Each structure stands twice: as C-alpha cells, then as structure tokens.
Structure 1
Amino acid sequence: MRRRPPPLPTLRIKPSPSPLKPFSSSSSSSSSSAAAAAADDDELRHDLAALLSRRDLDPPCAAPRSRGCPAAPRGAPPRAPPRAPPQARAPPLLLGRRSPRLPLHPALLRPPPRLPPPIRSPRPGRPRAPPPRPPPRPRQWCPLLLLDGTTTPRGVSPSWFGPSPIPSPPRTHPSRLRLTPWSTFEQRSSNARQVFDGMQRFVAPDVYSYTPLIVVNCKNSEIDEAKRLFSEMERLGVLPSVIAYNALIDGLCKKGFLDEAFQFKEKMIKSSVEPSVVTFGILINGLVKLNQISDVGSVLKEMVGMGMEPNEVIYNTLIDWHCKMYQCAEALKLLDEMVSKGMEPNSVTYNSLAKGLCKAGEMEQAEYYFDEMLSNRMEIHVGLFNTIIFWLVTKASRLDSAVRLFREMLLRNLRPNDSLMTTFIKELCKKGKLREAAELWFKLMEKGFGVSIVTSNALIHGLCDSGNIKEAIGLLNAMLGKGLVLDRVTYNTLIEGCCKDGKMDEGLKLRDDMVKRGIKPDIFTYNTLVHGFSKLSRMEEAIQLLDEIRNEGLVPDLFTFSSIIDGFCKIKDVRKAKFYFNQLIDWDLQPNVIIFNSLIGGYCRDDQISEARNLLDDMKRRGILPTTVTYCTLMHGLCNAGRVEEAKTILGQMMKNGLKLDVISYTTVISGYCKIGQMNEAKKLFDEMCASGIAPNKLTYTALMQGYCKMSNNEEASKLLNEMVDRGIVPDAVTYNTLMSGLCKDGRMEETFSIADQMSQRGLKLDEVSHTILVHGVTRDWRQKEVASSTEGGIVEHGFGS
C-alpha cells in the first residue's frame, strides 16, 4: 500500500480579487464532515506541493467558480467543499496532457512554507495525552481548488446556484482554453474574448470586465461587436463607464459614423455619466477628419459650458487641420492662444506646424520651429527631417547644414528615404564634397539601415566623374562586403569612369567580371567602350566591339556609329568614316547633326572642302538644320586652306539663318586673317565683334598677338596683353609664349625675361615651350655677339681698322 506523505501546514492564501464572496459553511456540520475536510486539505496540500515542484507546468492564475454561486453572509467562516467520489473525478492535471502555460497566481510566487517538525510518539511506559487539535482556520475559497481538472467545485452541486441570467457557454475550463500566442492585436483580441466567454459561466461580468473588451473591439474596428457588448451591459443593469463611452465614440468616429457618435454622447449625458475632455476631443477629431470644421465651434461651446477647457490634444488637432489646409496663419494664432493659457507645445504641435509651413513654402519659418525642436530634444517625425534636408540640398544649397541634420537623424536612429539619399549624394558629388558623400554612405551601412543600389550607383558615378576610379573600386568592394547585389548600372558607371580616364583595359576587365556574375552587358556598356576606344584612336578595338554587338543580338544605335565615324575622322580616314555612315543608313537609322559635324570636320582636315560643302547641302536636304558648330567647323577648314573671305561670307549666312554669332565664330575668322597676315581686316573684325556686345576671350587675344608678332609688331602685341589683363582675362602659357617668341625674334631678351618673370608671378610654370624659346633666344644672342666680335677682330688684323 502506498504511503501518504506527511501532511503540509495550511497555506495562507490571500483572498482573490474576484468579486465573488466566500462560501458560507453550516454551523451544524458533524465530526465526520470535518474529518473529510481535513483529509481533503491533506490531498490538496500534496497536489500543490507537487505542482510547485514542476518546472514545465504553470498553474492558471485563477480558476472560475460555478456561475451563479451565492455569496455567504459576511463574517461566516468559509466552508470547504465536500470531497467528490473518486470515480466521478477527472484525472488530475499532472497526469493528463500538458495545459497551456498561463501566469502564476501571486500566492504561488511566494516560497512554500516550512514543514512542521514530526510529532514523535511517546516513550513506552509513559503515556501522553495527544496535543489538542487547533481549531480550523477560516479559509477564503480560492480558485486553486480546481487544479485537479473538475469543472465545478468538488462536492458542490450546480443546483445550489440557481439559474444564470446569461446563457451558459461551452463547459471548458479556463486552464484548458486553446489560446493563440500573442503575436498580433487581432489574436490578442480573440484570446480576450475566449477568456471572457469562459469567465461568464462562473462570474457575473461587471463594468471592469466589459470595458476592456469594448476598447479592444473598437481598436480592432469591430464596432458591431462593441455595440453588442455595450447593449448587453445595459440589459444586465451594468452602468457603462466614461471609458467605455469614449472607446465606442472613438470607434464610431474613426468609421465615419459621426451622427451615431453624437447620439452616444447624448445617451451618456442622460445616463448621468459626465463627458470628459477626452470625449469632446474625440468628437472634434472626428469632425476635423471629415472636414466638418463648421461644427467644431458648437462642440467647443458646449465643452466650455460644462466647465471644461480644451487641452493640448484638441489644440494640436485644430493646428494640424489648419496646417493641412495651408492656413498657417490661423495655426499660429492657435499656438499663441495655447501658450497664453499656460500650455506648453509638444512635439506633435511643432511637427504639425513645421510640416504645414513646409507645404506652404515658408521654409525659413519652418526651419525656425525645427531648430526649436532640436534644441529642446523633442521627437521629430522622419518625414519632417526628409523635407527640411531636401530643401536645404535642392533649394537653399546649404549642404553643410544638410550634412549636420543628416548626422542628427542617424543619432536618433531615423533612416532617410532612398530618394533623398540619392539626391543628397548627387549634389555633394557635384559640389566636389566626395568625402562627405562617402561618409554618409558608410554611416548608413554602419547603422544597419542599408543603402539602395540606386544611391550607391550615384556615389560611384560621382567618384568616377571626378576621376577617383580607385576610390570607386574600393566602394564597389565595400558594397560586395556588405552583401549588396550589384546591377548593370553599377558596372556601366564604373566602365564609363575608366573610359573617361583612358583606362580601357580596366574597362574591359570590368565587362568580363560583369559577365561572370551573370549580368549581361547592354548597348550602353558597349557604346561606352566603343566611345572610349574611338577617342583614343584605337579603331581596331572599336570595330571588334561593333562585331560583338551584332553577335550578342544587340542593335547598334546612333551613338555607336557616331563614335566610330568621329574616331575615323580624327585620324583623317574619311573613306572608312563614309563607309560606316552608309552602314548607318542601311540600318534604317537617321543621321543627326553630330554625325554630320564629325564628317564635315573630317573632310576639312583632309583638305576636301568641296566634299564638306556637299555634306552641308545634304544636311539641309534631309531637314537637319546646321548649328553654330557646323558653320564654325566649315569656317575653320576654309581658314586653314587660306580661303578666309569665303569663311567670312559664312558669317553672313549664319545671321540669315537666325543663328546668333558668338565669340568662337568671330575668333575663327580673326585667326584666319592673322594667319595670312591681314591684320587690318583682323582688327576691323575684332572691333565689329566688340561693338556687337560680344566680349573677346583668351583665344581671340592670343590669335591677334600671334598675328602681330609674325609681323614683328611686338608693341601692339604687348598692348593687347595689357588690355587683356585689364579686362580681367587671365593669360595662359600659350599667350605668354606667343609674346616671348616675338620678342626673342627681335633680340629683345631683357623684355623676354621680364615677361617670363611676370608669367611666374601669376602662378604659371614655365613649360617646355617657354624654356625652348628662352634657350633659343639666349643662344642666338650669344652667337650674334660672337660673330660680331670675330668679325671686328678680323678687320683689325687685316689692317682695315682706323
């Protein structure tokens, strides 16, 4: 036979906060019922001790008693329920399947009481009277009595409690409810409803039971269920609280049922439940959201009539509405009224004002309130940060302030949006602030916010445009290290940077790496490489790439043929340029003005002026209007061929065609006159240009100085140099070398060295041409002196001297 463990002392469990009253015990109970109660207590203590020793099972916080349980009169000792027959009881929880983990009851969190010392039996021969049994302590009924799994208190008949006013839900013990883990608000709402349904069998719900459910259903947009619970409260005679009214009014306002919300407010007043400031704030917020601003005044008047003043929430609601309606002046008046009543504007107030001012274009005033929020360490909405930084970057051009605010965003763990980051980095790269742009990129990665590939491509493009290919490659490696996936734009940007820098081999390696990573090159990739090879006159590689384009199934476009035609024209291979021009026509592509300009320039370099003129006529027949570049290219070829008068007539054609003459057009013809020594015509055209309001540039003055120096008119050339400096035009090394060359030819070395000193003082270094001019001038002067001295010595030696 199994031995029962020694009995535990009586647990002193504080009464449960449940509204139930303790059971009443009959005063006429017999000694047998007392013995049964004591035995039941022993078994209960044993079960509790075993349960507390279990680590894998938490008992429920409270087990509900049977519904309709009558309360015992105050002061009556509690009655222990009689023991149920063994065959009628369900198996204990400890032996059944594992129940859901629920919070421990506070009484079970205390350490278990110490066991009393064992009662020793008296020595033989010395009989001792048994110690008097202490009277049973009154114990409050506790739901822990239901831990054995029974659905009603043991020994208590459900007929004692009488009929329940609420329909009985399914008989499921709360400890066996299948509750969903609390992962979403909807699931938590469902769990609360299950507990409430299970509780109704044992406890009469009150206002504290209904109110949380009404709040939860309103937050979950289940307005019909909330209204049903509210009606159930009224039917049972439970007076709803102001919290329940406010929750239901708020839910109705959010759904747009303003009329019903105001009806509940009136019912609230009739039920002697006084509305609070929150009630009126909810109604005002509902009116504002539906743009029924005309009714706000009556609500405010009623509120003031009941002795209540608007609080910060109501002021913030009205300020936000005025800001959204671009009525910033009214919003500022409300702010002043708010401050005059002793209320301090909070972050909601300032966020609404600043965003409204930004929408209205009052960025300076918005920045003032933004700075107030920063200085007071208020919470700032991420959208306001984005708006202010975007304005500083694109409109105010205050990049330093934008960088400061960006760092503040990161300190507050706020992430700027991708479009702002891309625009910000582009502007920083344009202004040459590459270090700051790279710093922002790496700070975002350190924070774990991540950077979009578009933003990263913008930074790589900025580095490549500035010639920092090495830094761009380093950024690419950092992107790969951070797990970013490169795209076609990234590679095309890097390849374009390499081609601009003349590093064609690196560009081809990037193209190969692009293919290895499964990214297929597009026509932009090939066009970039073709353009790079053509610019370096490496036409064989360019033609190979054109063949690859066709083999890959891609279609060459105008840019492809334009690069190839221009490359052949620069090396004076006009025949091949014309061949690819015809291929372009065969591909059903229409040549543009850029291709015609390249061909006209190629024919002019090859001294085929007539072919160049024919191309000009062909352009006009195709409906392509010549540009200033077209005419200047043709005039340049005519001047190089010595046909300056024809070039001058083209100036008249340009004016007839509505093209505005510029300094390049005049300088081209002036340079042609200077080359053939017609300085009077050149000076006349120069004066005409100045009279037309076109200011000469450095090339114009240099061309005139070259012409005067060829004519050995160095004085006029020196005057032009001084005039050039007086106009604020900074001479370059070519200008100074032109004048020094003319002075050296006249043997005026002192003036030549003076010009060289002036050149050094202006921060220009003497280049190879400058040194060559000075060396030739010095050696020529030395030889002339040596010849003169040798000639004079020979005359004296032969007796021809005096």
Structure 2
Amino acid sequence: MVPMLLRLQRKCNAEWFRQSTVLTLKASSFLFSVLTVPAQSDDSSGDEKLSFALDELVKKRSHYLSSGHVAQTLRCLRRRPAIAFAYFRDTESIGFNHDLSTYSEIIQILSHARQRKMLVCLFFELVSRIKTGNIDILPLIDHLRRSCTNSHALSFASDCLIMAYIDCHDRQMTMELFSHLCSLGFVPSGWSCNVLLKFLADSGESDMVVAAYEQMKCFHLTLDVHTLDIVTRSLFQAKRVDKAIKVWAEMIEMGVKPDTHAYSTFVFGLCSFGKYDLAYAALREINRERVPFGAMAYNKVMEGLCKENRLEEAETVLENMTKQGYAADVYSYSYLIQSYCKMGNLLKALDHYDAMVSHGIEINSHIVSYLLQCLRKLRMTSQAIEHFQKFRESGVHLDGVVFNIAMAAYCELGNMVEAVMLLNEMKGAGLAPDTIHYTCLIDGYCQKGEIQNARQVFDEMLKTNIKPDIVTYNILVSGFCKRGLFLEAYDLIDHMRDQGLEPSSLTYGVMIDGFCRGGNVCDAEVLLYIGRNSRIDNIEVMYSAMVCGYLHSGSTDDACAIFVKSVLEGNIVDPFSCAKLISNLCKEGNLKVASTVCSMMLENNVVPDAISYSKLISAYCKAGDTKNARFWFDDMKERGHSADVILYTLLMNAYCKCGEVQEACNLFDLMIHAGIKPDIVAFTVLLDGHLKELLRKGWQNSAKEGRSFTLRAKTKQLLSTMKEMKMELDVPCYTVLIDGQCKAEFLEEARGLFDEMLQKGLAPDVQAYTTLINGYCSQGEIEKAEDLLQEMEDRGMKPDVLFFSVLNKKKNEI
C-alpha cells in the first residue's frame, strides 16, 4: 500500500509542476517564487547544490504561509482536484502544518470529485499518525461535518476513511471509528458497510460482525443481499446457527431478497448443522422464487434428508431439481441409492440405479458396493455374486471394497476357490490386497472348517508384509478353538504379542466361546479366571462369552451363576448374552430366575430388548400367571418398547383362559388407543373368551330365548367392529362361533355358519369339523354327526382316538 501511495504522490507533484503557470495566476506571488526558483536555476554545480539551495529557501520562507491563505488557494483549485492535492502535498513538504480547515477543504474537494484513491491515501497517512499518537481524527470529522453541506460528499468521505482504517488492520479502531461516524450523522454507503463486515468476518470475529450489523440496523443504514451473505456466513462459521437463522429472518422482513450466493450460504450452513427442515423449506422458497441455484446445493439438502431417512422428501428434491433445469449427477442418485440400500429396500435402490443409467450417468464403485452390500444384507448372496459379475463385465472400475464384498459373498457360500481367484484377480489388476481381504479369506476357511487353509492364508499374509490386525487374530484363534486346537490357539496369542499386539478382552472372549463350542469348558473357565486376576479392560466381554458358552454346552444353571457373579462385581454382561439367557430360562420354564435376570439388568441400567420381554411375557401367559405377565408387559412399555398385536393377543388369551374376560377387553381397548390395529386372531380370542365366560356363569340353566339374546349381544359388538375394519372371518374365527352356537344348542345356526364358511371358499380344518360333530353328538343327532364325519374323512382328515371314543359313547347312550 505504501509504495502505491508514494507513486501517487509523485504523480501529483509532477502534475503540479506542469501546471505551474496556472498556479502563478491564482496562488500568492510568494508561493509562486518558492516553486519557480528550482525551475529558473541554471547552476551547473549539480543536483546537490540545487537541492541545498531549495532546502534553504524552504526553511526561510515556509513560515510565511497561513492556514487561511492555503485554504483559499485550495478553494480556487476545487475544479482541479489533482492539482489541489499536489498543492496540498507540496505545502506540507515545505514545512507547512495543515490544520482542521485545510484538511477539511482538501477532503471536500476530493470527495466532490470522487477521488477515492487520493482520499484513501490522505486518510491512510492520518490514520498512521493516529497510531503513533500525533493526531486525533475525531475533531477533523466533526469540523468536516459542520463545514460540509453535501451529504453525498460526507458519505463518500466516510467510506474512504473506513477503507483507510481497514488498511491499518486494526479491527477495534475501525469499529470505534464506524460508531463515531454513525453517531455524528455520517451515512456510510452499503458498499463500505459490506467491506467493513467482510473485514471483521475474515478475522473470525463473529461478535464484532454481529455488533456492526446491529449498529448498521440501528442507524438505518443500507443493508443488502451482500450484507446478508457476509453476516450469515460468519455466524455459521462461528457455529452460531440460531443467530444466523434470526439474522436471515430479520433481513428478509426488511425486504432484502436473497440471491444465489446468499441462498447457497444459508442452505449449506443449515445442512452443516443438521437443520434439514429449514434447508428443505429454503429450497422450496428458492424454487418458488425461481432463483438460479446450483446442483451442489440440491445435493446437499438431499444428503441431509437421506441421513434422516426422509427419502420421499429427498426424491421430491431430486424431482424439483430436474424441473428447474439442473441435471442430476452421480451424487444426486448416490445418496438415495445408499440410503435405500441401508434400509434394505432393494427395489427402490434399483429404480434409482436404472434412472441413473438411463440418464447416461456413469456409475462408480461406491454405488456398486452399496447395491452388493444390500443384496448380502437381504441374504441374497447368490444374486450379489451375479450382480458383481455383471458390473465387472460392463467395464466399471471396481475398487478393493467391491472385491472384498464379492469375496465375502463367495466365502459365505463356501466357494473358497472363487474367493481366492478374486484375490489373484485384484493383484493382476494392480489393486493391492490389504488386511481386510486376507482376513475375509481366513474367516471363510474357518467357517468352512478348513483351518489348515486358513493358516496358510495367514502365513502368506505375513510373507507379503501385510500385518494382521486384532480382528484377523481373533478369527483365527476362534477357528483353532472350535476345532479343538487349543495349543495352536495359545501359540497364536504368543505370536500376536511378538507382533506388538496385546490380546484384548475380545480376544479372550473369542477363545472362551471357541473353547466352549469345542467342548472344552474347563479351559474357558481358566481363561476367565486369568482375565479377572489380570484386570483386563472390559472384562464384561469375557463374562458375556462365558454365559453364552455355558448356554451352548447346556449348562443354564452355570450361565445364571456366572451372570449373577458378574453383576455383583459390577460387570454386567452384554444385552445379547442376557437375552440368550432369558430365552433359555423361559424355554425351561424357570420363570422366576428369568424375572430375576431382568430385574438385575434393570437395576444396572441395562434395559432388556423387546424380544426378551416378549419371551418372558409369553412364558408367563403359557403358565397362566397373568399377574406377572401383565407386570412385565407394562414394564416393557414404560421402558420405551412397543408391544405388537401378537403380544397383546397373547396376554388377552391368557386373561380369557383364566376367566378374566373383562381384563382382556380392557387390554383390547388399550391396544386400539395405542394405534395398533387388531387382527382376526385378536377378535377370535375375545369371542372365545366371551362364550366361555357365559358357560362358566351357568347360562345353560336359563331359557333358550334368553341364551340366544345373551349370545347375540356378546358377539354383535365384536362382529360389528370387525366389519367396520373390513376384516373377513377366517376358519378359526368361524370355529369359535360354531362352538358357541353348539353349546347354546343352536345347531341350525351352527350349521349355517359352517355352510357360510364353505360358500366363502374357506376349507374347514379338523377343529372346525370336530366342533360341529361334537355339537350334533351333544344333542343326540348321531346321524348328522356320522354324515359330517364321513365328509371329513373324504377330505382326507382323520379325527383323533379321543374323538371316536366320545362318538361311540354317545351312540351307546342312545
């Protein structure tokens, strides 16, 4: 900056000497003589003698200049700003000290003439003197405000002064000056306001940016779209998201219309901090206002929506993007394909893949890996291999990740020959296999039981200087243990230590699991003992492995004991092992211990998973213990798990079997209020419960008309609700209704229901036939019972021995 100012000064001085004739007419004769002495001298003694003479003359005569005389001369040169500025400099160079009036005069001249460079140069020198304490700018500004009547000139002067302060790189002084200018009535232009804001923003001072913005707003200065962009960008960089949103809303209310840059800043900032709702709303506003917007911003919003699994909205963004004339790129489709693959929605992922290909967008290895992983996740391993082969044949560049997925798929199918061939193909294509690829092969051989081949791959890995990681060792150790090669497992642990890797709790856990699966529970117990005494981190991993190991070997009691021991030591086993333990206990009917396990988990802030709750509730329902079943059912919901219609139905059925039909009805209402739609099984359970309740209350002693009324009243409401839900009766539901009619001695109605079932194309099962046959037998209509029995046998159904004994008994009674 300083060299530029010196060049500008020399240029002004040259202009002054070229115009010396004009100056002699308007300036004082004294000044004229001073300035023309060097021009008239023809002394040949050289530049040094001339310079000395001039200096002596300046020293003798500079004190004769007055402030009024200089100011008057400047006013005479108002129409010649360059000459005026040169005159101002020359008077200063001969020792004249300018005061407020002369400074004010030259500032006004340069402001009227819009001479920004000269005025910034002048202010820069003044600001530099301020820094050394030689002058105060504020009296000059105040004098200028009182002496200048042109508001445009004052605004221009304030702009140049702000620029000079910025060039001094002093943020605090610049802010203070800006505040003084505003308080004195100066109105900086919108351009200089933005220059100041950018200066503050570039220094990372978001507080000062906000303070300057608030002051500009307070003094009603011109704020435009550039202001909006600068302030919001600074706030986002400072992670002040809420303030950025507030400023955006304020400026929109002021009437500022965002442009492409401002919208991009806002949308990218919102997405960076997870404010995808607002980003999506801003994008809709952009579309409505038809503001030109790059594809990158659309992709950013799509990426955010996909992260939150709001894929339908992301698809809408893609659709709007193309409607606005922007071509979707590989990233646009990649986000959607990746998200649908993670959700396991292969059809939607393939739809977007097809759309991508149809638009001529070249796919990459990342998209290939998403699709292949999705196929493997859906257990479509063979299809994953087929797609891999198609991608490979199409010439798409496939990276190491894709090859690893394909190798894992071949390993999963037990086709180790193809997996090894892929590894060699990688090498031939210039792709260097890494630890993950070799570990994949080792795992495949271990899963297949070919432990020697796994060891050979491990040895090859070492020969090629590829270092195994903890996962590699754990897989191989587990393989050795499962095959009963316990000494080899210990040797591998020693090798692991030699490589600088210390076995972790997971390593020991893998060994414990392998020992148990290999039938060597004793060594597993020894390993757990060693781990407890050596104070290995995450000892709960070893406890979890031991619990699963005992369960695998059929020792549920030992698994419970080690679980309790771990809890007492403050090392709760993992939820998976707990769930497995609870499941085994429920299968064995040991519900009290299963409940104790759940309670101990909860006491240690570990919430059982929904499956564990379901199994425990189901076991209590099967045992007829509705009190404990309901306790764990309510606890499950309180812990944040949602019960499905199957679990509700199980508990309702348990209530009905215990004669607590009203509790079943209450639970049915709770299910409806929870927004869970009952299925036909739930209605069937309630119908059956109502009928059995009537029987228990001795309704057969009442008049037949009364029984009919009671029966119809009890079933009408449920059947009506089923009809409203457009729910069709199935065979079990018809069977329950037929049983109710039979026990109420309404055989014709029962037969009518049976025929209705046939007319609907439903095939009665053994239970349906048996129910109606029993109804006929109970009323002594043996011939109808035998006819129905014959029909049943013609359909290939055979009743059990107990049924025949009942039928023969009824015949003998008759």
May I ask how many residue pairs the two structures share in their alignment?
Answer: 530
Task: Tell me, in whole angstroms, the C-alpha distance in 2 between the residues paired with 1:710 and 1:511.
Answer: 43
For the pair 1:579 / 2:456, whether they are aligned, the reply is: yes
Task: Tell me, in whole angstroms, the C-alpha distance in 1 between the residues paired with 2:318 and 2:311.
Answer: 11
CA deviations 1:589-635 (Å, max 9, x no partner) are: 22222222222222233233333233223222332222332211110
For the pair 1:471 / 2:348, whether they are aligned, the reply is: yes
Residue 434 of structure 1: aligned partner:
311
Distance 1:690 1:426, change over 3 A: farther
Contact 2:419 2:441 in 1 (8 A): yes
1:603 to 455, 458, 480: 480
Distance 1:449 1:692, change over 3 A: farther
Summarize the alignment of residues 289-300 of structure 1 with structure 2, pairs less than 5 Å apart: 289-291=166-168, 294=173
For the pair 1:393 / 2:268, whether they are aligned, the reply is: no
Task: Tell me, in whole angstroms, the C-alpha distance in 2 between the residues paired with 1:341 and 1:600.
Answer: 75
Structure 1 counterpart of 2:310, one-letter code:
K
Structure 2 counterpart of 1:393, one-letter code:
C
Residue 380 of structure 1: aligned partner:
258
Task: Tell me, in whole angstroms, the C-alpha distance in 1 between the residues paired with 2:213 and 2:616.
Answer: 72
Contact 1:249 1:261 in 2 (8 A): no
Unpaired stretches in structure 2, ≥5 consecutive residues: 1-79, 83-107, 129-139, 637-641, 648-766, 768-799, 806-814
1:250 to 102, 111, 116: 116
Give the C-alpha shift of residue 467 in structure 1.
2.0
Residue 523 of structure 1: aligned partner:
400
For the pair 1:283 / 2:149, whether they are aligned, the reply is: no
Give the C-alpha shift of residue 497 in structure 1.
3.6
For the pair 1:591 / 2:472, whether they are aligned, the reply is: no
Task: Tell me, in whole angstroms, the C-alpha distance in 2 between the residues paired with 1:337 and 1:585.
Answer: 68
2:531 to 654, 659, 668: 654
Deviates more, 1:465-474 or 1:751-760: 751-760
Aligned to 1:432, the other structure's residue is in SS state coil
Residue 441 of structure 2: aligned partner:
564
Structure 2 counterpart of 1:355, one-letter code:
R
Contact 1:568 1:576 in 2 (8 A): yes
Which TM-score applies when normalising by structure 1? 0.54
Give the C-alpha shift of residue 245 in structure 1.
7.1
Task: Tell me, in whole angstroms, the C-alpha distance in 2 between the residues paired with 1:508 and 1:679.
Answer: 41
Task: Tell me, in whole angstroms, the C-alpha distance in 1 between the residues paired with 2:559 and 2:463.
Answer: 45
Task: Tell me, in whole angstroms, the C-alpha distance in 2 between the residues paired with 1:327 and 1:552.
Answer: 52
Task: Tell me, in whole angstroms, the C-alpha distance in 2 between the residues paired with 1:330 and 1:554.
Answer: 53
Structure 2 counterpart of 1:569, one-letter code:
C
CA deviations 1:313-340 (Å, max 9, x no partner) are: 5555545544544555555555555555
Structure 2 counterpart of 1:622, one-letter code:
Q
Residue 73 of structure 1: aligned partner:
none
Task: Tell me, in whole angstroms, the C-alpha distance in 2 between the residues paired with 1:574 and 1:351.
Answer: 64
2:426 to 549, 574, 594: 549
Contact 1:252 1:261 in 2 (8 A): no
Contact 1:319 1:334 in 2 (8 A): yes
Structure 1 counterpart of 2:116, one-letter code:
D
Asked which structure has the greater CA Rg, the reply is 1
Task: Tell me, in whole angstroms, the C-alpha distance in 2 between the residues paired with 1:304 and 1:258.
Answer: 22
Distance 1:362 1:246, change over 3 A: farther
Aligned to 1:484, the other structure's residue is in SS state coil
Structure 2 counterpart of 1:249, one-letter code:
Q
Distance 1:349 1:688, change over 3 A: same
Contact 1:674 1:704 in 2 (8 A): yes
Contact 2:384 2:409 in 1 (8 A): no
Give the C-alpha shift of residue 653 in structure 1.
3.3
Task: Tell me, in whole angstroms, the C-alpha distance in 2 between the residues paired with 1:711 and 1:460.
Answer: 45
Task: Tell me, in whole angstroms, the C-alpha distance in 2 between the residues paired with 1:599 and 1:286.
Answer: 70
Aligned to 2:502, the other structure's residue is in SS state coil
Give the C-alpha shift of residue 465 in structure 1.
2.2
Task: Tell me, in whole angstroms, the C-alpha distance in 2 between the residues paired with 1:676 and 1:505.
Answer: 33
Give the C-alpha shift of residue 503 in structure 1.
4.0
Residue 367 of structure 1: aligned partner:
245
Aligned to 1:665, the other structure's residue is in SS state helix
Contact 2:477 2:510 in 1 (8 A): yes
Deviates more, 1:537-546 or 1:325-334: 325-334
Task: Tell me, in whole angstroms, the C-alpha distance in 2 between the residues paired with 1:332 and 1:738.
Answer: 59
Aligned to 1:620, the other structure's residue is in SS state helix
Deviates more, 1:659-668 or 1:626-635: 659-668
Distance 1:469 1:316, change over 3 A: same
Distance 1:338 1:520, change over 3 A: closer
Distance 1:388 1:308, change over 3 A: closer
Residue 403 of structure 1: aligned partner:
280
Contact 2:532 2:539 in 1 (8 A): no
Structure 1 counterpart of 2:497, one-letter code:
K
Structure 1 counterpart of 2:470, one-letter code:
V
1:632 to 509, 520, 523: 509
Residue 357 of structure 1: aligned partner:
235
Structure 2 counterpart of 1:398, one-letter code:
K
Aligned to 1:379, the other structure's residue is in SS state coil
Contact 2:496 2:503 in 1 (8 A): yes
Identical-residue share of aligned pairs (%): 19
Aligned to 2:361, the other structure's residue is in SS state coil
Give the C-alpha shift of residue 370 in structure 1.
0.7
CA deviations 1:493-523 (Å, max 9, x no partner) are: 4344444444455545655554566544333
Task: Tell me, in whole angstroms, the C-alpha distance in 1 between the residues paired with 2:540 and 2:418.
Answer: 38
Residue 644 of structure 2: aligned partner:
763
Task: Tell me, in whole angstroms, the C-alpha distance in 1 between the residues paired with 2:288 and 2:331.
Answer: 24
Task: Tell me, in whole angstroms, the C-alpha distance in 2 between the residues paired with 1:344 and 1:643.
Answer: 83
Unpaired stretches in structure 1, ≥5 consecutive residues: 1-209, 215-241, 767-777, 779-784, 791-802
Distance 1:679 1:567, change over 3 A: closer
CA RMSD of aligned residues (A): 5.4
Instruction: Point out the structure with the larger helix share.
Output: 2
CA deviations 1:29-56 (Å, max 9, x no partner) are: xxxxxxxxxxxxxxxxxxxxxxxxxxxx
Contact 2:438 2:461 in 1 (8 A): yes
For the pair 1:619 / 2:496, whether they are aligned, the reply is: yes
CA deviations 1:382-405 (Å, max 9, x no partner) are: 45544444443343x332222212
Give the C-alpha shift of residue 428 in structure 1.
2.9
Distance 1:303 1:354, change over 3 A: closer
Give the C-alpha shift of residue 489 in structure 1.
3.6
Distance 1:513 1:408, change over 3 A: farther
Task: Tell me, in whole angstroms, the C-alpha distance in 1 between the residues paired with 2:585 and 2:599.
Answer: 14
Give the C-alpha shift of residue 644 in structure 1.
3.2
Structure 2 counterpart of 1:365, one-letter code:
K
Structure 2 counterpart of 1:763, one-letter code:
D
Larger relative contact order (CA 8 Å, sep ≥ 6): 1
Task: Tell me, in whole angstroms, the C-alpha distance in 2 between the residues paired with 1:302 and 1:655.
Answer: 74
Contact 1:357 1:363 in 2 (8 A): yes
